[in-house]
A and B are shown apart, each in its own frame.
Chain A
């Protein structure tokens, strides 16, 4: 059982470049989330989705876009990368039942230079 899979694990981008962080889960979870974690800090919610075709902004959505065409996949798109987007990105998923834990991917470490 793979759980939540994120790719790539590491990436270096130049300022102004774009990229997509991939996230796939095989647990048939309705809810999926994207977080960023800056050094020594907690997790900030970027975007989330409660099901295929439904997405919504979190606390720090600027500079990012998402889509959710299937239950399994929730890619995060960075347009015009900036140094402020240097961070570790985590994808998480959970069932659509009140009070259930979220399962995390192993993270993507992104550096923008």
Chain B
């Protein structure tokens, strides 16, 4: 059965800290891994990682895909209060066309 697990479930840090969020997966015929940020409403897209694009960076956020370990990390450097959100990882399973989400990591950044 396809499965996506994120850790930690919750994280509390101070502004300026660096955080690393983890996502591991077990899916049939992996196609891609996506990271989303969710504040009050709908998730908003951050990154997509595939076999041909295993590292992405945008400002203070970066993400790496490790296909051997079946996992990905999302790094946020110099965190700000505006980074407070739930971060969701999703994996596209090729055999079924499903897009499976993990449990999410709730990040709280305090001044």
Contacts and interface: CB of A to CB of B under 8 A. Distances in A.
B6 to A, nearest CB: 7
B103 A42 contact: yes
Contacts, number: 61
Contact of B99 (A33, A42, A107): A33
Contact of A107 (B31, B42, B102, B106): B42
A99 B42 contact: no
Contacts of A33: 99
B41 A106 contact: yes
B31 A99 contact: yes
B41 A41 contact: no
A58 B88 contact: no
B103 A98 contact: no
Interface of A: 31, 33, 35, 40-45, 48, 50, 56, 58-59, 90, 92, 94, 98-107
A40 B106 contact: yes
18 contacts: A31-B99, A41-B104, A42-B6, A43-B43, A43-B101, A45-B98, A45-B101, A48-B97, A48-B98, A48-B99, A58-B98, A94-B99, A99-B92, A101-B48, A102-B45, A103-B45, A104-B42, A106-B42
Contacts of A35: 101
Contact of B41 (A40, A101, A102, A107): A107
B107 interface: no
Contact of A99 (B41, B50, B96, B100): B50
B94 to A, nearest CB: 8
B50 A31 contact: no
B1 to A, nearest CB: 9
A100 B86 CA distance: 21
A31 B32 CA distance: 15
